[in-house]
């Protein structure tokens, strides 16, 4: 760490002379250390896939939760600090319920993303707080379409057709750039997502460490069973 950086990295509210917020950049580094997550749009919805990175056979796989349902039509996958991710998920759930009570309708996906990112951005403006060290891949369906957003510790968000966060993001995104096509079937989207994680984990993929969920225009949110997940993964590993 150079002397210039030391002078400007003590709070998220201080810009360095070249316009950087070091605490936000450090939060992004926490995300890069997180497990690989991917989201892929298909014809009728979106699939979210996460590598839970089970490091010991003593760990119960079901105890590690990386994909969260926010509302009937919205879910997210987290990468980075799990506790930060849970805090944002709880905030998102409350926002979704407030919208339904107030307006008697489910919250639009983009509206929820903006509210969560506004909350994230506040944590870069005031002393005594730090940026959230997690990125959410937020997926959902509503009357306006099928959505997949990636959110940043700074409060920025980007919409994707296929996106990734975490340790293997670079390799996963390179795979999507070469192989993604519009109007995929659900099975093809799942296969593509697993392949992307396979690339992102340097081909060290364990079927029991993969978690898959879909959000569709017909069935809304659904988690895929472990047995079916293993079947999808084993096809890729053959």
Q: pLDDT class for 11, splitting at 50, 70, 90?
A: low
CATH of 19-237, one of 3.30.70.3340, 1.10.3720.10, 3.40.630.30, 3.60.20.10: 3.60.20.10
Active site positions, annotated: 35
Task: Give the closest residue to 88 by CA, choosing from 151, 45, 35, 156.
Answer: 151
pLDDT at 6: 60
Average pLDDT, the chain: 91
Arithmetic mean of pLDDT, 59-73: 90
Q: What is the pLDDT of residues 16-62, one digit of tens each?
A: 888 788 889 999 999 999 999 999 999 999 999 999 888 778 888 78
Distance of CA 148 to the CA centre of its chain: 9
How far apart are the C-alpha atoms of 107 and 111, rounded to whole Å?
Answer: 7
Arithmetic mean of pLDDT, 87-101: 97
170 in helix, strand or coil? helix
Higher pLDDT, 206 or 215: 215
pLDDT at 28: 93
Whether 32 and 169 have beta carbons less than 8 Å apart is answered as yes
Domains of the chain, residue spans: 19-237
pLDDT at 238: 73
pLDDT at 4: 53
Whether 175 and 199 have beta carbons less than 8 Å apart is answered as yes
Arithmetic mean of pLDDT, 197-207: 85
What does the DSSP 8-state code read for residue 106? P
Distances (CA, A) of 234 to 75, 76, 198, 226: 25, 25, 12, 12
pLDDT at 8: 61
Whether 204 and 50 have beta carbons less than 8 Å apart is answered as no
**Segment (H or E) for 23:** helix 22-32
For residue 57, the tally of other CB atoms under 10 A from its CB is: 6
pLDDT at 13: 72
Residue 152 has pLDDT above 90, yes or no: yes
For residue 123, the tally of other CB atoms under 10 A from its CB is: 20
């Amino acid at each position: 760490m150079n002397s210039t950086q030391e002078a400007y990295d003590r709070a998220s509210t201080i810009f360095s002379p070249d316009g950087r917020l070091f605490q936000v950049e450090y939060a992004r580094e926490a995300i890069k250390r997180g497990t690989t997550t991917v989201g892929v749009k298909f014809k009728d919805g979106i699939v979210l896939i996460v590598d839970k990175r089970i490091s010991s056979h003593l760990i119960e796989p079901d105890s590690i939760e990386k994909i969260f349902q926010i509302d009937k039509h919205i879910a997210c996958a987290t990468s980075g600090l799990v506790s930060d991710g849970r805090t944002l998920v709880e905030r998102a759930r409350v926002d979704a319920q407030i919208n339904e009570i107030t307006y008697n309708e489910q919250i639009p996906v983009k509206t929820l993303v903006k509210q969560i990112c506004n909350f994230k951005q506040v944590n870069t403006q005031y002393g005594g707080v730090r940026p959230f060290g997690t990125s959410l891949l937020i997926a959902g369906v509503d009357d306006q379409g099928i959505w997949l957003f990636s959110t940043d510790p700074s409060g920025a968000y980007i919409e994707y057709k296929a996106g990734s966060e975490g340790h293997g993001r670079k390799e996963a995104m390179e795979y999507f750039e070469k192989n993604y096509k519009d109007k995929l079937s659900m099975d093809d989207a799942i296969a593509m997502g697993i392949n992307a994680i396979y690339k992102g984990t340097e081909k060290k993929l364990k079927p029991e460490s993969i978690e898959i969920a879909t959000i569709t225009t017909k069935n809304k949110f659904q988690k895929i069973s472990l047995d079916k997940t293993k079947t999808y993964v084993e096809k890729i590993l053959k």
